[in-house]
Amino acid sequence: MDMVYKRLEDFLQDNNFIEYALGNNESRLFWDDLLIKSPELKPIIKKAYEILSGSNITLPTQFSEKELDELRESIFSKTIRK
């Protein structure tokens, strides 16, 4: 996964990160490795993780594209209003 994420919104719109924050263990290795390799991203990743993990969202076994779009929009609109 090639990525150049620097903003909170970048993480909140990433399907893989959303799944990681909601408890998908398959994604954990990638994000844990990224934190080791890019410690400067830790504050942003931590904030995005807190937003998603504290959101009362349950993770179905698989999201449709429409569901992912709706989830991203919901998360994005809530973070902009704060």
CA distance 70 to 11: 16
**Is 3 domain-assigned?**
no
Domain count, the chain: 1
- Structural domain including 56 reads 8-81
Q: Which two tokens stand for residue 35?
A: 């934190």
pLDDT tens by residue, 22-77: 887 788 888 889 889 999 999 999 999 888 877 665 555 566 778 777 877 777 77
Please answer whether residues 11 and 82 qualify as being in contact, where contact means their C-beta atoms are separated by less than 8 angstroms: no
**Is 1 domain-assigned?**
no
CA distance 74 to 23: 19
**Is 49 domain-assigned?**
yes
What's the predicted TM-score (pTM) here? 0.62
**Is 33 domain-assigned?**
yes
pLDDT(12) > 80: yes
**Is 2 domain-assigned?**
no
Question: CA–CA distance from 51 to each of 12, 20, 29 (Å)?
Answer: 9, 12, 20
Greatest C-alpha distance within the chain = 33
pLDDT(81) > 60: no
